[in-house]
Amino acid sequence: MSTVSSSSRGCGTSFPSKTSSLPALNSPNFIRIGKNSQSDRLSSHRLSLVHENRKARGATVRMALVDERQSTGQNVAHPPPRILAYDLVQGDLVKWRWKEDKSVPDTPTAVLLHGILGSGKNWGTFARRLAHEFPTWQFLLVDLRCHGDSASLKKRGPHSVASTASDVLKLLRLTPRVLVGHSFGGKVVLSMVEQAAKPLPRPVRAWVLDATPGKVRAGGDGEDHPRELISFLRQLPKVVSSKNEVYTALMEEGFSNDVAQWVVTNLRSTGPSSSTFSWAFDLDGIAELYQSYEDTNLWNFVENLPRGVHVNFLKAERSLHRWALEDLQRIHAAEELASEEGGGVEMHVLEDAGHWVHTDNPDGLFRILSSSFQVLRA
């Protein structure tokens, strides 16, 4: 399978890219994607530009994913600022096509969204597994606003579930066939479908992983207290001398070893030869996003789905504190209503998993999610 990576630049400041930037889509260059290495992480792809004869190749390359309006400049080395940073994992049978070639349909695309304090890389291993099983598909792993490489972009407020969903919609030039969001990303998925409800082609399958449309019931298992974690991280110095310094501080504050190890992966060196580290996300913006996550209520949308939209909720078996009886009852009631109206709501339970579903039980999650790609197999 192939992996394409694209990063973004902040206004007036150059930031390191994940890999070489994608070329301007209206250039005469053909994109040739190298194969992924056998690393368990999303490795940098080998992207080469093969100059074609402009007269012989009057057509242009069509990347059937990212909005072409984001790459209209001719300077390949310095493309215009992009909306969000992302990684693109493609199956081996994904077909590129010339813009004028209508014989090749748009590549079926799935968008995978992370939760608060995460990044698109959280989905790397899982996305490659999906691409191996469904080789005609491509999988877009987005760094949401204030997170990962997208933190370098200065986004206008408010930082909210709705504005985050709008970012992802603006990034795309085609409609994804499948949307998958974990936790905060789950509400973003619902907001995406709500905002684009009328123009979305059918069918559209949305997956909301261990999140409900309304009240957020975080904490309670001794390991996951997002509000307290964000608050504590904002009290730490913005630049630290070592990752171990932050790890120790988190452990002393009572956070779990797993959370402490995960958080320090978001520290980045401040320079090529620097021995100091800073956060790879915008903590002030993330605090605002988390507040919006708690305040956003999308029950009305779920209970009045447009025809042809199918929303799947997945509850982690060990994530009991996030789900109340009223949530389950309301989702089951929405299942019956949606089936009568031509939409679809479905409830799933992932056994032997806590909130971190794609690491706690990746095999079980793969089996459940695979149904969408089998039904919509290209």
Give the DSSP letter of residue 12.
T
- 121: domain CATH number is 3.40.50.1820
Alpha-carbon dihedral 317, 318, 324, 325, rounded to 10 degrees = 40
- Whether residue 260 is found in the same domain as residue 282: yes
Tokens of 10: 């902040």
Closest alpha carbon to 36 in 70, 87, 77: 87
Asked if 306 contacts 198 with a C-beta cutoff of 8 angstroms, the reply is yes
Q: Is residue 65 part of a domain?
A: no
Q: Which distant-in-sequence residues (6+ apart) come within 8 Å of 302 by Cβ?
A: 190, 213, 311, 331, 334, 345
- Whether residue 102 is found in the same domain as residue 195: yes
- Whether residue 209 is found in the same domain as residue 140: yes
Query: pLDDT tier at 221 (50, 70, 90 boundaries)?
Result: low
Q: Is residue 99 part of a domain?
A: yes
CA–CA separation, 101 and 172 (whole Å): 20
pTM of structure: 0.79
- Whether residue 183 is found in the same domain as residue 307: yes
Q: Is residue 236 part of a domain?
A: yes
- Whether residue 120 is found in the same domain as residue 172: yes
**Which among 286, 307, 329 is the end of a domain?**
286
Number of domains in the chain: 2
- Out of 77-91, 186-200, 315-329, least confident range: 77-91
Closest alpha carbon to 309 in 346, 283, 350: 346
Q: Which distant-in-sequence residues (6+ apart) come within 8 Å of 10 by Cβ?
A: 81, 152, 153, 154
**Using one digit for the tens of pLDDT, what is the confidence trace for 232-260?**
999 999 999 999 999 999 999 988 888 89
- Whether residue 150 is found in the same domain as residue 168: yes
**Using one digit for the tens of pLDDT, what is the confidence trace for 274-321?**
889 999 899 999 999 999 999 999 999 998 887 778 899 999 998 877
- Whether residue 233 is found in the same domain as residue 127: no
Does 134 have pLDDT greater than 60?
yes
Tokens of 53: 């004869």
Asked if 166 contacts 137 with a C-beta cutoff of 8 angstroms, the reply is no
Q: How far apart are the first and last CA of the chain?
A: 16
- Out of 65-74, 157-166, 242-251, least confident range: 65-74
Range picked from 106-115, 179-188, 338-347 for highest mean pLDDT: 179-188
Which residue range(s) make up the domain with 182? Answer: 86-219+296-371
- Whether residue 121 is found in the same domain as residue 207: yes
- Whether residue 232 is found in the same domain as residue 185: no
- Whether residue 179 is found in the same domain as residue 316: yes
Exposed/middle/buried for residue 352 (C-beta within 10 Å: 0-12, 13-18, 19+): exposed
**Which among 286, 309, 332 is the end of a domain?**
286
- Whether residue 119 is found in the same domain as residue 247: no
- Whether residue 194 is found in the same domain as residue 266: no
> Considering Cα of 280, then 283, then 289, then 294, what sign does the dihedral take?
positive
